[in-house]
Structures are given as C-alpha cells and as structure tokens.
Structure 1
Amino acid sequence: MGLDGIIQGIAIYALPVIFAITMHEAAHGYVARYFGDFTAFNQGRISLNPAKHIDPVGTILVPATLFIVSKLTMGAGFLFGWAKPVPVNFANLRKPKQDMLWVAVAGPGANLMMAIFWALFMKLAIILPVSDFTGPMLIMGRAGIEINLILMVLNLLPLPPLDGGRMAMSLLPHQIASHFAKIEPYGFMILLILLISGILGIIVWPLITFIKLMMVSFFGLYI
C-alpha cells in the first residue's frame, strides 16, 4: 500500500478509534456516578468530547503505528490502544463490591452498542445508491465494527486492571478477590507480553471473529 493509501486509511479509521475509546471511558464515568461515585463527574470526564479522554500515545501514536505496520507488511494486524482512564473511587460506590461489576461492564457494553451503530451505518451504505461516499462509508463501518469488538473482547479478559479483571474481583469471594487484585500492578506488562508474543491474538481473535460473523449474518452485511 502506498503512502496515499495509508493516509486515507488512517483518516477513515481515526473516527471509529477515537469514538470507541471515548464512549468506553465516558460509560464508566456515567455508571460510576449513577452508583454514587462523582469523581469522574467532578473532573469533567463524563463527556463525549474526545479531547477529555485522548491519550497522545495510547489513542493516537500506538494505534496509528500498528495500522501503518500492518499495511506495510500486508498483515491482518491487531489494532491496540487506550485512553486516559476515567477516575473511579470504588469506595464511594453505594455497594462497592457489587457496584464495581456494573461500572466495569459499562465500558465493553458501550463498545457493543457502538459496534451495532457501525453495523447500521454500514447497512445504510449498502442501501444507498453507489457514489464516491459509499466506499469510504463501508470501510469506516467495517473499521468501527472491528475496533469496537476488539476493545470489547480485550477488556473482558479477566486480568486487572482490565474491565474483565474488575468484574472477576466483584464476583469472587472477598479473600480470593483480595489476592487476585495483587496482579493489577503487573497487568499492563502481562498484556503487552501477550500481545508481542502473539498469544493475545490467539486468545481473542476466535471470539472476535465469532461475534463479527453473528453481526454480519444478523444485519445482512458483507465484510
């Protein structure tokens, strides 16, 4: 792929990536406020303004680099990124251990809703008469589905500080949850090792592919 194609690809993928991460983080803050923690609200982080959540490295540099590398090597690639975490003080929740579950679920849940939105967006592109816009719309819709499903499945891994790790801590008995929480300082390092080694892709791609095929079948799409 030439330079023009890479720039066009980044432009098309940028919107789905930014909104996937923004909606994910805003959902955490909104649900935390609902259950009694106003930390994110007081810091202005319950917002759909991407500028509130963008991390220059995790939201822009890393995904863009992975995208360029995947196009230059003609590989499938694995888009990976993160935003500035929304601050949540679980001690402020009305029932900290129980409510932690719903705060954690909110992020992946928002990504599922965004994936459905992009599926409908893609369906609209299929229905509309063919024009100069339908091609980019189809590519953007496909990107939106894939990015949100990747973020959803990735965050459901039972590894603190990912959402799946928070969910596990909420559901496990207190003593086991306390020991499990000790993994959190090393969670990101473990995730990077899994990513670099290729093990992460082996774990998450089958589930991502399965969910994507279900959506394709349900909405009558082609990806």
Structure 2
Amino acid sequence: MTPTDHARDRRTYDAEPYLPSRGGLAAHRRAAADCRGCPLHENATRTVFGKGDESARILLVGEQPGDQEDRQGEPFVGPAGQLLRRALEEAGIDMDTAYVTNAVKHFKFTRPPGGGKRRIHKAPDRREAAACRPWLLAELRLVRPEIVVALGATAGRTLLGNSFRVTKDRGALLPMPPDGSHGPYAVATIHPSAVLRADDREGAYAGLVSDLRVAAEALAKSEP
C-alpha cells in the first residue's frame, strides 16, 4: 500500500456533515456541490446530484455518474441514460415525470494502461457508497416516491442491504427497509449500462423492460 493509500484509509468517509440542516432539494443540491465526504471528489469534475420531478411517484437510483454525466453535471445523460429512457417508455413510464439519481454522486474512474485521456468507469466500493448514502436518503425523504427502482448492484445494496443480489432479487416488488427514509416498495433490475455490455443485448434489454413493467404496474394499481 502506498503512502497515499494509507492517507486515504485514515480519512473519514461520511457525507453527513455536508448535508444542510433544512431546506428542500435545491438546498441539498447546492450543498452537495461542496461535498468532501470521500476522496472521489478529488478527481471528478463535479458533484452530480439527482434531477427530476420533486413530487415524483417513482424514483430511479443508478450506481454513479458516468463520463458524460460528470462533464454535463446531470444524471443519465449518456448512452446508458438514453437506453434507460427507451426502456422506461416501453414499460409505460415517462422518465420526465420521474426523479433520477445515483447512489454515489461523483464519477470514479481509471485511466488506460500506459496513459491516455480516456476515463474508464470503475465501480465504487462499499465504503464510498456508504459515505454517499446520506445524500440518497435525503432525496428519498424529500421526494417521497411510492416506488423506488434500484438499477444495478450498487444501488440495490445501498437501498436494500448488503445481502442484495441482482440475479436473485430483480423483477419483484420488495418492501423497503423500515428506517423511515424510503418509499414503501422497491423494484430492482440491472443497470442499463449492463445491457450495453451484454453479449445478448436484445435479451438483456428485454429483461430490463420486463422488470420496469413491474414498477409501472405497481404505480398503476396505486392510482387514486
């Protein structure tokens, strides 16, 4: 382990001190821009906070911003976001009426071997996801969605606990943990970027749409 690694291990991984004591999503978005709750802020361009309908009935949680999200400052604006929008439409959900965010608010990446400017996505570890969790809990508390969709393993573990497994738990209507911060139900599925990486892209996409339909059907049943 290098001296830099030792220094990072001694740091506090916790975004809680950076959260505002009051205010809505706009206040939290402003505060998140200055978050130093874990080392990921050091290399990312900016904090990418959630975006969407502040009274959305459905809230979608991904893993972390990608390259385009980091550059533009908004979640799900890259290729995975475009695919997600199409899948939501097929499932009967209008993405423009949802709230979308990520479990981790800064882009974690590596560089190609031998150097180069390309930034290669690297999954956040559990400590980084746990550090950022207070921002996600605040978003859930302020939006108060009826259904939360976890897109991928990182989002699923952050919302539903470390025992969560995408292959085992996807496509079912699951109760949220009873900590008072979440909506009543969650649906888990793969992250849309997994579709883009899949050998059988058509089959992976069909599975994503099928899982999202579970969320759409749950919303339809709860219509007043």
Given the two structures, how large is their TM-score scaled by the length of structure 1? 0.30
More strand by share: 2
- Bigger Rg, which one: 1
TM-score, normalised to structure 2, is 0.29
